[in-house]
Amino acid sequence: MSYAPFDREGFITYSAGYAVSDHVAIVSDFKTFDGSLGEIDDYLWEHEVVVFTQMKDLFYPSINFGYGFGELDRTNTDYSLGISRQSVLPPLGISHDFFDLALSARFSRVNHKLDISQQIYPNRERHYDFRDVGKRDFFFVEPAITGGVGYKWVKLRGQFTISQKLGNSRISYYSALNLILSLNVTFNIIDLFGGENKADK
């Protein structure tokens, strides 16, 4: 479970995950952005299936398969803008009691559903710079480095990401450089409820 109050462009991220086996986990991220009136202006809800293994008690090679959906500019009554993202993320990480370090590169496909209101006048799209949003898909590659410090189950993590758009599609709202700070808490649900750990048998 993690909380990132300093995500890109003012996003706040809530994240939770659960390992269903020794090699498969499910992770869910919910990103929000609060508008000037206290309403949620943007949100993106993403889910990932993570296939991983452990090598020599330190190295954690894995691959993440993700799908997310959401909406941008929800408080704007001139248009509605839905968004969805499919991604593949093959990270390689080291985890120690006192620190974490990981290298990764996310490959993603992003598409938008744009619906412009025609109730007041028909040419309202001229007042906004949508470029290719709503007309074609966008593809990105996002290399990142992630580091964390703390002790065992509580760590403060930082992630620096470079977002590079592929192809000649035109988009104006994404940020090329991103820094995310988060507080991460890891615990065993079986231990919390007093269950018997298979490793103890």
> Among 50-59, 93-102, 113-122, 175-184, where is mean pLDDT lowest?
113-122
Q: What is the 3-state secondary structure (H, E, C) of 121-135?
A: CCCHHHHCCCCCCCC
**Alpha helical stretches, state H, the chain:** 189-192
- Judged against a pLDDT cut of 70, whether residue 109 lies above it is answered with yes
Q: Tell me the two tokens of residue 166.
A: 């592929």
What pLDDT is attached to residue 67? 97
Nearest to 144, CA basis, from 92, 200, 199: 92
Interstrand relation of 40-52 and 92-95 (parallel, antiparallel or unpaired):
unpaired
- Judged against a pLDDT cut of 60, whether residue 171 lies above it is answered with yes
Please name the residue that has the structure tokens 């996310």.
106
What pLDDT is attached to residue 36? 45
User: pLDDT digit string (tens) for 62-105?
Assistant: 999 999 999 988 878 888 889 999 999 998 888 888 999 999 99
Domain map (residue ranges) of the chain? 2-190
Topology given in CATH for the domain delimited by 2-190:
Porin (2.40.160)
What pLDDT is attached to residue 40? 64
Interstrand relation of 2-4 and 177-185 (parallel, antiparallel or unpaired):
antiparallel
Average pLDDT on 115-144 reads 77
Q: Are residues 31 and 12 in contact, defined by beta-carbon separation less than 8 angstroms?
A: yes
- Judged against a pLDDT cut of 80, whether residue 44 lies above it is answered with yes
CA distance 9 to 157: 18
What pLDDT is attached to residue 82? 93
